[in-house]
Amino acid sequence: MGIQRRRWTDDFRENIDLWKENFRGLLTSNEYELVRIGLILFFGVFLILTILNWGFGGADWAGIRTEAHGMLMDILIFGILLTWFERVRSRKDKIKNYHEQLKDFRHWASEEGVLRKVGILQRLNEMEAPLANLKGTYLSGAHFPDANLREADLEMALFKGAFLPNANFEFSDLVGANFEKANLLSANFQSSNLQAAILDEALLLRANLNGSILMQAQLRMAKLSEASLREANLYLADLEGADLRNANLEMADLRGAKMNWADISQANLQGVKNLTCEQIEYAEISKETKLPNYMEKIWNEDAQKYNCKMVKPDEETEG
């Protein structure tokens, strides 16, 4: 009987130790100490109340019991508030530390440096915390699918050859950023600033570039099939050799954009602004390509391809 009782005692102690370790893992060391002290005070006052209720039932002790009950509630509420404030402070300190690390590692160009920075950004994403100033940060070759870099300051950042499918760059400042040969499958660049950004040979299949600023951006040989560039500003952008099959450029501004040898088969260019036939003279146009109403497709029998001609206002037709 004594041996069995010791076993039960040992098992109980092991379970208590295991529970303590699991509980400690949920909190920082400061939070754990606050909770531990709070529990000691709480159960101490609770024990005193129990003794008063059982052993001192007279009228003289009624006021003391009432005060003790009030003290117990005060300790409980104070402990909850203190723990909450400590958790908020700890979160702020952690975010500040991550931001300082990103600043220190900004130009660390080795594979280890990129891995460290991606790890920090992932933790910030998990915390749903704001991102630091990431200007000029080296992230070339980074493996960061589903990255949330929304509203980030990534001016002149380097993402050459990075793997960033489904990444979110909405409203981000990406002026001069380099995404050459990056995998940006289904990435979200809506309303982002990509002025003078480099996206040569980038995979932008099904990417969302609606309302983005792509003035003077380099998109040579970029794979933009099924991408949406609705109302994008492509002033002086270089789209030579870009794959724009089934892309939606409705209402985009193409003033001065270079589109030689771009493939705009089945693309939607309805309502685009400032496009001329000279710009798409050497582009691949299909029967299904939708041109703006100031242009008309013409079949060139000699070249066995579609060309376009400008339509005067009084003879406008749908392209």
Is 180 a domain residue? no
Each residue's pLDDT tens digit, 132-158: 899 999 999 999 999 999 999 999 999
Task: Count structural domains, the chain.
Answer: 1
Classify 174 as helix, strand or coil.
coil
- Per the structure, the complete domain to which residue 31 belongs is given by 2-99
pLDDT at 316: 47
Q: Which of 118, 171, 167, 172 is nearest to 140 (CA)?
A: 118
Residue 26 located in a structural domain:
yes
Whole-angstrom distance, CA of residue 97 vs CA of residue 88: 14
| Secondary structure (3-state) at 256 | coil
CB 134 within 8 A of CB 99: no
177-185 contact pairs (CB < 8 A, 24+): 178/140
Largest Cα–Cα separation, the chain: 113
Instruction: Examine residue 147 and state whether it is found in any structural domain, yes or no.
Output: no
Q: Please report how the helices 62-104 and 29-55 are oriented relative to each other, as an axis angle in degrees rounded to 10.
A: 170
The answer to whether position 94 is within a domain reads: yes
- Residue 223 phi, psi (nearest 5): -95, 95
State the pLDDT at residue 269: 97
CA 316 to chain centre: 44
Round to whole Å and give the CA distance between 259 and 178. Answer: 20
pLDDT of the chain, 319 residues: tens digit per residue: 556 556 666 665 665 555 555 545 545 555 556 566 666 666 666 666 566 565 555 555 556 556 656 666 666 666 666 666 667 777 888 999 999 999 999 999 999 999 999 999 999 999 999 888 999 999 999 999 999 999 999 999 999 999 999 999 999 999 999 999 999 999 999 999 999 999 999 999 999 999 999 999 999 999 999 999 999 999 999 999 999 999 999 999 999 999 999 999 999 999 999 999 999 999 999 999 999 999 999 988 887 889 899 987 655 444 4
Dump pLDDT digits (tens) for 267-303.
999 999 999 999 999 999 999 999 999 999 998 888 7
Q: Are 242 and 261 in contact (CB under 8 A)?
A: no
pTM of the model: 0.76
Q: Specify if 50 maps to a domain.
A: yes
Confirm whether 162 is domain-assigned: no
In a domain, residue 67? The reply is yes
DSSP-derived pairing of the beta strands 295-300 and 305-310 = antiparallel
pLDDT at 318: 43
Q: Are 179 and 158 in contact (CB under 8 A)?
A: no
Q: What are phi and psi of 133, to 5 degrees?
A: -70, 115
Residue with tokens 């309805």: 270
